Structure 1
Amino acid sequence: MLDKIAHYFDFQQQALNLRAKRAEVIASNIANADTPNYKAVDLDFASALHSAQGKQSGLALTVTDPAHIASSSGSGDAGAPELKYRSAVQRSLDGNTVDMDVERAAFTDNAMQYQSTLTFLNRRISSLNEAIKGGQ
């Protein structure tokens, strides 16, 4: 029963985890705005969430003999989304590609998306609580 309830919240949990990771990446960009030759990075949230959903729902292979080839789905860090370099709007003389306007906008957008995911999650919890109480 509890695993069904936990599965009910998996998507929002993964979305919140990726939003938190993206906030860390953007904060790192902002912190390194004056670092020479620092290249701004970001993660593609949609593809990272799609990848996280695919890894969760994928079927694992069962190895019944030591001579069998192990499944590749268990290798690597499943929780680390791929970071990509952000294209520079205007490169600085020291080689730094951080644009503070772009970073602030990305941070604000990410924070708003994080908050909306929390609101949606709160509504799901409330509806589940109502169902448990019997709508009284």
Structure 2
Amino acid sequence: MKLFSDTITNLENGLKYSSVKNRAIAQNIANVDTPNYKAKDVSFKEHLSQAQGHLQANKTHEKHLPFHQTSNEIKTSTRTGVTYNHNGNSVDLDKEMSELAENQIYYQALVERINGKFNSIKSVLNGGN
């Protein structure tokens, strides 16, 4: 028996993604002047494909294709093929600051939603008060 619904698990995975994204952005900003540093990125598309790996399906016929589970680890990739500075650095500070603000809004929305879920559970445990 599951104590919490899949919604809380999905929100938790979203928080993990946002945390990894924030760490990558912070590294990029910290290395804005480092020669030949290549900016790191965490792609939502990759995160989504990982989340889809957790879909469960019932195989009703032996000729159906199997579903494979993927790793729950969020991957960080290096941006290649772009250079913004004369020293080979690929960090665009304006882009990083924009992504940081967007990620902070995303993280805060997830925190508010998970707080709402826990407040609902708390309300039920207190008898609806």
TM-score by structure 1 length? 0.74
Residue 128 in structure 1 maps to residue 126 in structure 2: no
Gaps spanning 5+ residues in structure 2: where? Answer: 58-65
Q: 3-state SS of the aligned residue for 1:9? A: helix
Q: Determine which of 101, 110, 113 is the counterpart of 1:117.
A: 110
Residue in 2 aligned with 1:52? 50
Percent identical pairs in the alignment equals 26
Residue in 1 aligned with 2:18? 19
Q: Which moved more, 1:106-115 or 1:79-88?
A: 79-88
Cα offset for 1:43?
1.6
Structure 2 contact 38–90 (Cα < 8 Å) conserved = yes
Residue in 2 aligned with 1:99? 92
Amino acid at match of 1:79: E
Structure 2 contact 35–88 (Cα < 8 Å) conserved = yes
Cα offset for 1:128?
1.8
Amino acid at match of 1:112: I
Amino acid at match of 2:13: Q
**Pairwise CA RMSD of aligned residues?**
2.8
Q: Determine which of 70, 75, 79 is the counterpart of 1:85.
A: 79
Q: How many pairs were matched up?
A: 123
Q: Give me the whole-angstrom Cα distance separating, in 1, the residues matched to 2:81 and 2:92.
A: 10
TM-score by structure 2 length? 0.78
Bigger helix fraction: 1
Q: How does 1:1-20 map to 2 (within 5 A)?
A: 1=1, 3-5=2-4, 7-20=6-19
Structure 2 contact 24–76 (Cα < 8 Å) conserved = no
Residue in 1 aligned with 2:101? 108
Post-superposition Cα deviations, 1:24-75, rounded to whole Å, max 9, x if no partner, equal 1011111111111112121222x2332232232346xxxxxxxxxxx99568
Cα offset for 1:86?
7.0
